[in-house]
Amino acid sequence: MIMKTLKPLLSIGIPTYNGADHIREALDSVIAQMDDIENEIEIVVSDNASTDETPEIIRQYAQRYSFVRYFRNNENVGFDGNVNLVFERAKGQFVWILSDDDTLRKGALKMVLTRLKEYNDASVFFVNYAECDINMNEYPCRVRPDIYKDVYCKDGDAFFRENKFLFGLVSSLIIKREKWDERVKKYIGSGFIHVGAIAEILSKDTAFIISDKLVNLRTPVTGKERWQVAGYQAILKPGLELVKIFRHMRALGYNNKTCQGLLDNIFRANLRLILVLNMMEIRDRKEIARNMINCYGRYPSFWLLHLPFLFTPVFVFRSIRKIRKFLKKIFRTFG
């Protein structure tokens, strides 16, 4: 008798580039939960022409486990291009994108499979996550707002309202594969193809938010340290790309309140980023200013605070820091 080959319900898609340090943890966190559900899940690894030990590591897993499928790109096609290839290579009805340095928490797979079956009409699922240090110890205090209840969202406006602006983490998104179409490819190069994708898809489809923390987000450095490591290209520029996506959402039919809320959230973080990056002696201030004016020129406070701070000499901020330290020392001494 010929056995009928069924397509998996869920593909765990892992886009990777030089992920040798942590990708074993990512894979093991999935495989450890595969008992009794192997026929419903596959793991698809798309390697963006890694130059470290990533290929050898993944080939070992692929040889050991039939549900692990490994693809290696001939050249680095960038983050967006690699995520797009994950969807093209996956066979599951849904694709859960997992960063190569994040992990799934215990029980995550079975919970997600249950939700996918219960709300099969939804095209996008968001799963909550825990913010962790490099050793995957959860931080006692969350940096961002949290989500406390599951929500079925009848449209994209409801999703972005209920999501608390947490949708930017790629490891938290599960997307119906057939909905990832040509509309999505125009976001390649933005660094946020996943955000553009859900904006496009949810302009016409429904979503479901899972409040349980099912993903461990690894943050090697946090807050100010992360900004100092990343710099302008990794911090300010992506924010400006998100602004473009949020503005385009009006043309997709989202209401003005949703779009403005997303833009306001990005703008609120801009001044803090400028202040931190100023301490790092950022360069190309004129180029940054031109980009910011294009994105934030409608906000009066941008002209009154953001732009002046962008061009404030570094020694001014250093002097302020020294004064603050001095005053704190005085208060501790005589307080």
Angle between helices 78-89 and 193-201 (to 10 degrees): 50
Report whether pLDDT(229) > 50. Answer: no
Contact 87, 60 (CB under 8 A): no
The length of the chain, given as a count of residues:
335
Q: How confident is the model at residue 77 (pLDDT cuts 50, 70, 90)?
A: very high
305 membership: H or E segment, kind and range:
none
Q: How far apart are CA 16 and CA 54, in angstroms?
A: 8
Percent of the chain with pLDDT over 70: 91
| pLDDT tops 50 at residue 27 | yes
**pTM here?**
0.87
User: 3-state DSSP call for residue 129?
Assistant: strand
In this prediction, residues 262-289 reach a mean pLDDT of: 81
Which residues, at least 6 apart from 123, have a Cβ–Cβ distance to it below 8 Å?
Answer: 175, 176, 179, 201, 202, 205, 206, 207
User: What's the pLDDT tens digit per position in 159-171?
Assistant: 999 999 899 999 9
Cβ atoms of 131 and 220 within 8 Å: the answer is no
pLDDT value at 18 more than 60: yes
Q: How many Cα atoms sit within 13 Å of 181 on the Cβ side?
A: 6
pLDDT at 331: 75
More confident residue, 198 or 232: 198
What pLDDT sits at residue 280? 65
What is the pLDDT at residue 230?
Answer: 44
pLDDT at position 255 over 90: yes
Q: Which amino acid is at 309?
A: F
- Strands (E) in 155-302, as ranges, are 173-176, 207-218
